[in-house]
Structure 1
Amino acid sequence: MYNWPFPISLTMIHMSFCASLAFLLVRVFRLVEPVTMSRDLYLSSVVPIGALYSLSLWLSNSAYIYLSVSFIQMLKALMPVAVYSIGVSFKKESFKTDTMVNMISISIGVAIAAYGEARFDTWGVMLQLGAVAFEATRLVLIQILLTSKGITLNPITSLYYVAPCCLAFLFVPWIFVEYPILRDSSSFHFDFVIFGTNSVCAFALNLAVFLLVGKTSALTMNVAGVVKDWLLIAFSWSVIKDTVTPINLFGYGLAFLGVAYYNHSKLQALKAKDAQKKAAQPDEESSRLLEEREGEGIGKRNESQK
């Protein structure tokens, strides 16, 4: 194991790499067009998102020091619960009893998984739950602050604007928490291979998300995320030799069923919305043809009167 317990420094390395590469793709190679954004919009929209993103990354990376990889993936199943709850509080989601029951079932499943965790650490759980809360708030703010203003950011332009802001926010705790230890540690040597490949993976993850959502949908991304969590649990159990208890699997299985049902409900609602749009199109087409015929009739009457 590499044994480098500096999550803020690791996150700053990721953000530095992503910001630099995004700058090259946008400003130098011009592969992606930048979004027109005023200073006020940047301060009111991007800065809060960058602050929440930095907190989410900091806490989630810190949780790996205290918890197993498999258990962290189980805790991440609470993300739909957090997003829905915060969306309801911000009045971006309508409260529905069946959806709330679904959210409660997911929470119960995660609680059972936590009860059966062999390496349970209260501080680590608090860090991961905090990361989930900040990430969910960030997603809701993106919808409120950016989508409502007609601005869409793909991961490259998102990193172009958000990564430098996130880096600035991380710099403050890094100065007081990790820099003194790194400064006094004579044994530390920056490994370009390890950190370089790690940063490339972080950037590739953002790009993969963009390509997947662009080719399919955000719902597919959620389903793929659930499959990814199961694969990570299997990988941590078989390769990293994390302890996964039967109670862990039972609890996460219950949470998984809740997440799957939530995704299914979203899919059904999306299909119903598309069906309504298709049903409305013939009516709009008929109204347009009727208006054209009436216009032609009026034109002919005017000609006959002349």
Structure 2
Amino acid sequence: MSAEEKVRSSVDAARDTALPVLPTVNPDALKSAPEPPSFHPAVYIATWITLSSSTIVFNKYILDTAKFHFPIFLTTWHLVFATIMTQILARFTTILDSRKKVPMTGRVYLRAIVPIGIFFSMSLICGNQAYLYLSVAFIQMLKATMPVAVLITTWGLGVAPVNLRTLGNVSFIVIGVVIASMGEIQFVMVGFLFQCAGIVFEAVRLVMVQQLLSGADFKMDPLVSLYYYAPACAVINGMILLFTELPSLTMADIDRVGLITLFANASVAFLLNVSVVFLIGKTSSLVLTLSGVLKDILLVFASMFLFKDPVTLLQAFGYSIALGGLVFYKLGGDKMKEYLGQGSMKWQEFGHTRPVLRKLIIFAAVIISMFMVLGSLGPRYAPDSTNQVYNGIGKLIGEKGV
């Protein structure tokens, strides 16, 4: 494998950074015994998008809306819950049987899993800290730079030589995120630095996975990866928690959020990891990447509605450039032409078979686009009525449970 192919492999693994981020996602490890999908692929895609978006929105609700300002505790709780659940699944189900093919020894665990787990923990902690300061929409925009961070890390650590052509391909991502940052109304430098630190830690972790666990024997699906990483990361996070948030954490803080809410939050985060296994196993890593782009767009809209996060027209323009650059880098020019051609043919066939429905879709898209443009340019109308809607949603969610 050439150096450029290795870099692309690392960057591909960096695409999805929804919390919690998985240590490694290797589609080959999931496709050893292909089976016909029991459901339509759209079911797996919709499930993953729902769980991934729910995890992020749920974390934002707990840390910001519910005033539970203990992101390290929340991360540690997720990892402890994941450790317990993976141990149960390993002993009473067959879903983790592929772990037996991994030649994991105490020496490998200490020299590879633990160091990688340190950076994994730091990326999770910094990512959760950012939710205290930044909007969900802006955080998703910043996360689009993950492939660029991985690429620069591989060059900085000498894993691969500098390639100016590749740098040019990812430059659109950087330009788009810079434009989006310039349009951010609620910009907070502390939160911005936390999110950037989380991206850097995640990039270093992915490169370390490539270097320390690059052998074919160490290819693991996401759930097996969590089985090995979660215990180490839980201990690391627990040690950090002991000297930071734990002295000021009280049962009153936990009661304010609710034990049921915390349990539901950890369950959704764990189910996200399970859904990734089925998504890649029944589709492909390309589908995961493109689904991630759709998920990010939906999250921006959800952030605007649920948390009243303002998104300016300049931000939308910059984010569109970043997402376009991300898809171009992932697919390449030739592949994009091929897929666009196939999509155009499918759209024409759809127009011939269902002309009325196609016209309705086009009309709805135009109306939605007009509302987005006018909404970003104009003031917020009827704030009292809008607040009543949000307050009604808050009452449904409740202050102490879901």
Give the TM-score normalised by the residue count of structure 1: 0.82
**1:155-189: CA deviations, max 9, x gaps?**
22211110010011111221111111114x64542
Listed as ranges, the gaps of 5+ residues in structure 1 are: 272-306
Q: Summarize the alignment of residues 1-306 of structure 1 with structure 2, pairs less than 5 Å apart.
A: 1-33=65-97, 34=99, 35-148=102-215, 150-183=217-250, 186=252, 188-189=254-255, 191-265=258-332, 268=335
**1:94-147: CA deviations, max 9, x gaps?**
533222012222112111111110110001000001111111111222122112
Q: 1:150: Cα distance to partner?
A: 2.5
Q: Would you say the 8 A contact 1:108–1:255 is kept in 2?
A: yes
Stretch moving more, 85-94 or 231-240: 85-94
Q: Distance in 2 between matches of 1:16 and 1:187?
A: 19
**1:251-287: CA deviations, max 9, x gaps?**
1111111111101229849x9xxxxxxxxxxxxxxxx
**1:210-249: CA deviations, max 9, x gaps?**
2222223323222211111101001111232111011111
Name the amino acid aligned to 1:81: V
Q: Cα–Cα, structure 1 residues 7 and 23, in superposed 2: closer, same or farther, change >3 Å?
A: same
Q: Secondary structure at the match of 2:321?
A: helix
**1:189-208: CA deviations, max 9, x gaps?**
26222111111111111112
Name the amino acid aligned to 2:239: V
**Higher helix proportion:** 1
Q: 1:92: Cα distance to partner?
A: 4.1
Q: Distance in 2 between matches of 1:138 and 1:172?
A: 20
Name the amino acid aligned to 2:74: L
**1:22-63: CA deviations, max 9, x gaps?**
001113435422333111111111011111110011000110
Q: Would you say the 8 A contact 1:75–1:128 is kept in 2?
A: yes
Q: Would you say the 8 A contact 1:219–1:267 is kept in 2?
A: no
Q: Would you say the 8 A contact 2:103–2:217 is kept in 1?
A: no
Name the amino acid aligned to 1:27: R
Q: Would you say the 8 A contact 2:129–2:194 is kept in 1?
A: yes
Q: Cα–Cα, structure 1 residues 162 and 6, in superposed 2: closer, same or farther, change >3 Å?
A: same
Q: Distance in 2 between matches of 1:209 and 1:260?
A: 20
Q: Would you say the 8 A contact 2:184–2:311 is kept in 1?
A: yes
Q: How many residues align?
A: 269
Q: Cα–Cα, structure 1 residues 178 and 156, in superposed 2: closer, same or farther, change >3 Å?
A: same
Q: Give the corresponding residue for 1:292.
A: none
Q: Secondary structure at the match of 1:81?
A: helix
Q: Distance in 2 between matches of 1:188 and 1:58?
A: 19
Q: Give the corresponding residue for 2:358.
A: none
Amino-acid identity (%)? 38
Stretch moving more, 186-195 or 140-149: 186-195
Q: Distance in 1 between matches of 2:333 and 2:156?
A: 19
Listed as ranges, the gaps of 5+ residues in structure 2 are: 1-64, 339-402
Q: Distance in 1 between matches of 2:112 and 2:335?
A: 32
Q: Give the corresponding residue for 1:283.
A: none
Q: Secondary structure at the match of 1:119?
A: coil
Q: Cα–Cα, structure 1 residues 215 and 26, in superposed 2: closer, same or farther, change >3 Å?
A: same
Q: Give the corresponding residue for 2:382.
A: none
Q: Secondary structure at the match of 1:150?
A: helix
Q: Would you say the 8 A contact 1:78–1:106 is kept in 2?
A: yes
Q: Give the corresponding residue for 1:285.
A: none
Q: Would you say the 8 A contact 1:53–1:135 is kept in 2?
A: yes
